[in-house]
Structure 1
Amino acid sequence: MPTFTIPCITVDQRSNQTSPQFAIFAAPAGEIVQWAAIRRRIETNEGTQRALNQSKRAAVKRFLDKDPRNSIPPAITVTLRVEPHQIAVVDTSHNFALITLELPDNVQDQNKPGLIIDGQHRLFGIDAYSHDCLVNVVALLNVDDLETAFQFLVINNKVTPVQPDHIRTLALDYQEGDLSQRLKTARLTLHSNLPYVGIMDTDENSPFRGVLRLLAAGEDPEQRFVPPAAIENAITIIQKKEVPELKSEDALCEFFYAIWGSLKEEEWAELWEPNSKLMTKSGIMAMTSFVTDALIARYDYAGDLDVSDPVKVREQVKLILDYQTAQFWKSEWTIKISDAVVVRTKIVESLTKIYRNMRAGNTWSEEVDLVSL
């Protein structure tokens, strides 16, 4: 029978009998996931949390892995059911207490004393980094489902984001280079006009790392051949689909990486070079549009694709690429590639014809007007 002893500070924020009592403490992530459950809205009508987004979870782990100075100060919020005998007062003058939790072996989620109402991605991301890493916790003691739902809605709808100008001010107050690098590990950027370019040029998981056309000291400009605007516009294509699971920056990056990381494998890798049609602005936008349309159709109509799970997305991308060929991008075209909308439209139409041809067992280039063979 697992037993947990939690030193805490008890807090009565309001001097009345109707508001909840809090317990404030820090506990190892690996322990919290044992005694706290998540009731997700997609699993139960009484649930409050949204489905666990694997991209957000991975982003927290990556943030902690990146730099030993990185930490996550904000507390997660949980509810905690405890009987009076489970709270032992240690020091009444400072509200110090010990909470003892005893769990049955193989306890089911519905029987756990704790319930996470905010911070599930932080918790599971920290736990993925290290079971022993401490997590700050604010626990609402012995509240009902109505209070739980209320707190969830307030916490998730009343948060004020830090304004970009505030970030810029902090950057001026500190060593810009050092701060900039640390912000990139958290997938934040100081470049307001190129919100994703700085991330994708430096992120070790990015298929475009080090090839975006940016000025970099000591590097050969010829090795930087991808126009930054291609990344911005390709991301915009995904954003316009308005998929709830892809609203966050991290989820969007992982979705984009799943597409282009798959493309960079096997025969497609040879297209990562300066004269490649695929690496042009129109090429990147058209391929992103084609693959994204196919993925979102699976998400919308089949309903069995979790677009927030990079592994699942990558599996589907590879299935799509089974009916595409790098030869299309290496062939002579009947029109000159440019940034014109008509060119991008023709590329997408060609990709669609190639997909249908290969599915039917025909020659990939059949009736593909864009290529001259």
Structure 2
Amino acid sequence: MFQYRGFLVRQTPKTPLQFVCLVGPAKEIVQWTHADSIEIDRGGIQRELTQARWKQIRKFFTAKDENVIPSSVIIAFDPEVQSVQSLADLKEDQKAYCLEHLDDKGLVRISFGKGVLESSYTIDGQHRLKGMSELDFDVDVPVSLFVSAPALERAFQFITINNKANKVPTDNIKACIANFDAIEADLKSRLTTASIRVGQFASTIDVFNENKDSPFYKCVDWVNNRSKDALRIVAPQAIENSVKVLEKTFRDYPDQDDDTVVDIMFTIWTTIKKQYGITLASIDQFKNLFKKPTIQAITEHIANSIEQRVVNTSEQIDISNSTFIEEVTKGYIAKIPEEFWKAEWALKGLDTQAGRKIILKDIANIKKSFNLSQGASGAEWRNNLELYREDGSEED
């Protein structure tokens, strides 16, 4: 049986709606509520759970001990969840709740069992709730629980909340920083470690260089990489251009946002590094792999491969699912010898569209040499590769 103390609120004198403001552990709350099952573009009121979003919430809490989210998750019982007068009349599997008034100031105790699950809907905050529940430690969540709200009311609340929600304008962020110069460094650190991008104060490059989960952690070649063990191997433009490609490829997909794109980029390149056992200590041995044109070419190719998988299947695919991204990436990078990434390419001037095509063409030729025969041996995979032909030009 679930039981919480809270305050019963009737916001206006004439509204029939009442909600209880309560606090409970996220791991417990997910046991008795779920999102409405139909997407808003099909006439429903809640969007599907997106892995990248709830993982971003989890990452936010693990990035810094000080990070908290004080805003409430909004949940509603359908009217089929009945009110019973006495706690003694309440059963665990019953679609019912008991509301006990503890004083004349609105303090109440609400009790219910797991029987409410199928009729208890998360109107707003499903990703927050899921992310918090996936942490290794307990996190308390403030909840506004409507004790009875029909589908129409839930739809109205969802649309109202999401229509009013806006990102903080960049100008407001700048004004905040201007007024509090002393907090700039600390604020930037908090934002980047939580993978939150806010203009110049926590750029895409900051996130990829300073977030410990980033495949390019401490490896970006730019002035803000001040780590004592910085390697400065990855060009900032390689990250920026690759992220732009992902944004362009997936911008029309439902429920995709900045978090999804960053998560896809993280997953692609973390998977590639794991494939070859690349660590911070060994990354400089794979110079070809982390060249600017290579990063851009591979990212774009995998993005296109993901889109083709979506187009050429009858199954539903969630592109924010890291397992799916890993599968596509592993399939592409498999059987490419690590020597291909280590042995310096003779061909220069690759930082062009034509150069990136050559990289992808040679990768395709290597794959064919392994997949269409009994398997290449020795240096056979290097035969007919353009990248190992001298042309005397210099790379941009």
Sort the TM-score into its range (normalised by shorter chain): 0.7 to 0.9
CA distance in structure 2 between the aligned counterparts of 1:354 and 1:290, rounded to whole angstroms: 16
Q: Using a 3 Å threshold, how does the CA distance of structure 1 residues 355 and 20 change in structure 2: closer, same or farther?
A: farther
Q: Which residue identity is paired with 1:236? A: K
176, 184, 198: which one aligns with 1:176: 184
Q: Using a 3 Å threshold, how does the CA distance of structure 1 residues 246 and 298 change in structure 2: closer, same or farther?
A: farther
Q: Which residue identity is paired with 1:249? A: D
Length, aligned pairs only:
363
168, 188, 212: which one aligns with 2:196: 188
Matching residue of 1:103: 114
- SS of 1:204 mapped into structure 2: coil
Q: Name the TM-score, length of structure 2 as normaliser.
A: 0.81
**CA offsets per residue over residues 9-50 of structure 1, 9 Å max, x none?**
222223324x5222212112122112112233369x785332
Q: Which residue identity is paired with 2:331? A: L
Give the aligned CA root-mean-square deviation in angstroms. Answer: 3.0
Following TM superposition, by how much is the alpha carbon of 1:88 offset from its aligned partner in structure 2, in angstroms? 1.6
**CA offsets per residue over residues 172-221 of structure 1, 9 Å max, x none?**
41422212111112212455398311011011111111110122446377
Q: Which residue identity is paired with 1:34? A: Q
- SS of 1:13 mapped into structure 2: coil
What residue ranges of structure 2 are gaps of 5+ in the alignment? 86-97, 391-396
280, 295, 299: which one aligns with 1:284: 295
**CA offsets per residue over residues 91-125 of structure 1, 9 Å max, x none?**
23x22222111335xx8x42xx4211111111111
CA distance in structure 1 between the aligned counterparts of 2:209 and 2:319, rounded to whole angstroms: 23
CA distance in structure 2 between the aligned counterparts of 1:345 and 1:246, rounded to whole angstroms: 31
- SS of 2:130 mapped into structure 1: helix
Q: Which residue identity is paired with 1:283? A: T
- SS of 2:48 mapped into structure 1: coil
1:357·1:366 contact (CA, 8 Å) conserved in 2? no
- SS of 1:265 mapped into structure 2: helix
Following TM superposition, by how much is the alpha carbon of 1:134 offset from its aligned partner in structure 2, in angstroms? 1.1
Matching residue of 1:319: 331
CA distance in structure 1 between the aligned counterparts of 2:229 and 2:31, rounded to whole angstroms: 51
Larger CA deviation: 318-327 vs 226-235:
318-327
Following TM superposition, by how much is the alpha carbon of 1:284 offset from its aligned partner in structure 2, in angstroms? 0.8
23, 26, 30: which one aligns with 2:23: 26
1:277·1:330 contact (CA, 8 Å) conserved in 2? yes
CA distance in structure 2 between the aligned counterparts of 1:245 and 1:371, rounded to whole angstroms: 43
**CA offsets per residue over residues 233-264 of structure 1, 9 Å max, x none?**
00111111125367333322221111111211
What residue ranges of structure 1 are gaps of 5+ in the alignment? none
Following TM superposition, by how much is the alpha carbon of 1:291 offset from its aligned partner in structure 2, in angstroms? 1.7
Matching residue of 1:296: 307
Larger CA deviation: 298-307 vs 279-288:
298-307
Q: Using a 3 Å threshold, how does the CA distance of structure 1 residues 267 and 185 change in structure 2: closer, same or farther?
A: closer
2:102·2:108 contact (CA, 8 Å) conserved in 1? yes
CA distance in structure 2 between the aligned counterparts of 1:103 and 1:164, rounded to whole angstroms: 44
Following TM superposition, by how much is the alpha carbon of 1:274 offset from its aligned partner in structure 2, in angstroms? 7.8
**CA offsets per residue over residues 307-362 of structure 1, 9 Å max, x none?**
21213321331122224344444456574234222212332333344434433236
CA distance in structure 2 between the aligned counterparts of 1:165 and 1:52, rounded to whole angstroms: 31
Matching residue of 1:234: 242
Matches of residues 315-354 of structure 1 in structure 2 within 5 Å?
A: 315-330=327-342, 335-354=347-366
Matching residue of 2:218: 210
Following TM superposition, by how much is the alpha carbon of 1:82 offset from its aligned partner in structure 2, in angstroms? 4.6
97, 114, 117: which one aligns with 2:120: 114
Q: Name the TM-score, length of structure 1 as normaliser.
A: 0.86
Q: Using a 3 Å threshold, how does the CA distance of structure 1 residues 299 and 371 change in structure 2: closer, same or farther?
A: farther
Q: Which residue identity is paired with 1:225? A: I
**CA offsets per residue over residues 137-177 of structure 1, 9 Å max, x none?**
11223111122122222222321210122223333414222
Following TM superposition, by how much is the alpha carbon of 1:57 offset from its aligned partner in structure 2, in angstroms? 1.7
Query: Is 1:372 matched with 2:389?
Result: yes
Q: Using a 3 Å threshold, how does the CA distance of structure 1 residues 194 and 115 change in structure 2: closer, same or farther?
A: closer
Matching residue of 2:2: 4
Q: Which residue identity is paired with 1:14? A: T
1:246·1:252 contact (CA, 8 Å) conserved in 2? no
CA distance in structure 2 between the aligned counterparts of 1:87 and 1:218, rounded to whole angstroms: 56
- Runs of 4+ with >6 A deviation: none
2:286·2:342 contact (CA, 8 Å) conserved in 1? no
Q: Using a 3 Å threshold, how does the CA distance of structure 1 residues 31 and 169 change in structure 2: closer, same or farther?
A: same
Larger CA deviation: 166-175 vs 119-128:
166-175
159, 167, 178: which one aligns with 1:161: 167
Larger CA deviation: 77-86 vs 137-146:
77-86
Q: Which residue identity is paired with 1:256? A: M
121, 125, 141: which one aligns with 1:135: 141
Matching residue of 1:68: 65
